Each structure stands twice: as structure tokens, then as C-alpha cells.
Structure 1
Amino acid sequence: MGLQWMILSWVVAAEAAAAVLVTLPAPRLIKSRIVALASLALQPLGGVIPFAAFQLLDLHWKSEHRLICAGDVCTTDERIRYEKSIFKAQRNVILCVSACLLYWCIYRVCKYHKEIKELEEVEKRLKEQ
């Protein structure tokens, strides 16, 4: 179980780095190359969406079937273990949601950049006529 969360955390870190690179101001030539590279990486990274969705479903199923440790029935160690599992589940939900959100942000920024580039080309052609 830990390997899939480690992979997802590395993907989120890579997406965060890509989002920072795509949104930072840069000269036009460098910016267009960065956006082109990010656009190429978007298609293989698209697999993170179903993967994160499956992980969210898994977390939901586990939370529905988790033994509840409440009241005086549980020992201190059982209560600590229960609380740790809740915190891990919350952390993993945040990880899955941030993976999807970062992917969407990178996708939209790349799409906006392409639309702006196309509009500039149209404006340039209209000025030449």
C-alpha cells in the first residue's frame, strides 16, 4: 500500500514543479518551450486522474468498513492506532485531490497559452492584410 502513495506523492511533486514553471513569468521564447514541454507531458500524466479516483474510492470503502474506536472499550494503544489511521486517510485524500487539481491547473494554463498564441497569430495576419 505504501508504494502507491509514494508514487502518487512523487507525481504530485512533479505536477507542482510543472505548475510553478508554467505559471512563472518568463521571456516569450522560454515560456513557449516550457508550455510545449508541459503539454507533451500532460497526455501520459492523464493516467493520474483514474489512479487518484480509484485511490479515493479505496479510501472511502476503508472508511466505511473501519472499526470505530470510541468510548471506554478501546485501550490507549488502539485509540492512537485508530487516530493515526484517520490522519493517514485524511492526508491521502488531500494527496489525491491535489493530484487532480494540479493536473487540471496545468492543463488549463497550457490551453490558455495556446489560445493566446493562436489569437496573436490571427491578429498578426489581420495586420498584414
Structure 2
Amino acid sequence: MALQWMILTYVVAAEAAIAFLLTLPSPKALKSTLVSLISLILQPSMFIVPFAGFQLLDIYWKNEHRLMCSGETCTAAERDRYEKSIFKAQRNVILCFSACLLYWCIYRVCKYHKEIQSMEEVEKRYKEE
């Protein structure tokens, strides 16, 4: 299970770095090259959305079937372990949502950039006429 969360963590870190690179001001040629490269990578990296969804379902299932430790019969160690598992689940939910949100943001930035390029080409053609 820990390997899945490590993969998701690395993917989120990579998506954050890509989003940062896309939003940095840069020369037009460099920006268009970067956007075209990232656009090629976007379709194969779509696997992250169902992967994160599956992880969310796993967290939900484990939360529904988790033993509650809220009475006086629990020891301090059991209560600490229970609270730690709740915090881990919350962290992992945030990780899953951020993976999907960052993917969507990268997709939209690339799409907006391509739309702006096509509008600039249309404007250039109209000016030439």
C-alpha cells in the first residue's frame, strides 16, 4: 500500500513542477515548445485520475470498516494508532484530490494556450488581408 502512495506523491510533485513551469513568464517560442511537449505527455498521464479515484474508494471502504476506538475500553496506544490512521487517511484524500486538480489545471492551461495561439493566427491572417 505504501508504494501506491509514494507513486501518487511523486506524480503530484511532478504535476506541481509542470504547473509551475507552465505559469512562469517565458519567451513565446519557449512557451509554445513547452506547451506542445506537455500536451503530448498529458494523454498518457491521464491514468492518474482513475488511479486517484480508486485510491479514494479504498480510503472510503477502509473508513467504513474501521474499528472505532472511542470508548473507555481503548488504551492510549490504541487511541493514538486510531488517530494516526485517521490523519493518514485525511492526508491521502488531500493527495488524491490535488492529483486530479493539478492534472485538470495543467490540461486547461495547455488548452488555453493553444486557443490563444489559434486566435493569434486568425488575427494575423485578418491583418494580412
2:11 & 2:63 partners in 1: Cα distance? 24
| Equivalent position of 1:69 in the other structure | 69
Q: Percent identity?
A: 71
Report the CA distance between 1:28 and its aligned residue: 0.5
Q: After superposition, what is the alpha-carbon deviation per residue over 1:61-113, rounded to whole angstroms, capped at 9, x for unaligned?
A: 10011001002110000000000100100000000000000000000000000
Question: Which residue matches 2:96?
Answer: 96
Specify the alignment match of 1:4 in structure 2: 4
TM-score using structure 1 length: 0.98
**Counterpart residue number, 2:16:** 16
Matches within 5 A, 1:1-129: 1-129=1-129
Q: Which amino acid aligns with 1:13?
A: A
Q: What is the identity, as a one-letter code, of the residue corresponding to 2:21? A: L
Distance 2:28 2:111 in 1: 16
| One-letter amino acid of the structure 2 residue matched with residue 110 of structure 1 | C
Q: Distance in 2 between matches of 1:86 and 1:72?
A: 19
What secondary structure is seen at the aligned counterpart in 2 of 1:61? helix
Distance 2:34 2:60 in 1: 37
Cα distance in 1 for partners of 2:25, 2:35 equals 12
Q: Any unmatched runs of 5+ in structure 2? A: none
Kindly tell me the number of residue pairs found equivalent between the two proteins.
129
Aligned partners of 2:128, 2:55: CA distance in 1, in Å? 53
* Runs of 4+ with deviation above 3 angstroms: none
Q: Aligned partners of 1:94, 1:83: CA distance in 2, in Å?
A: 17
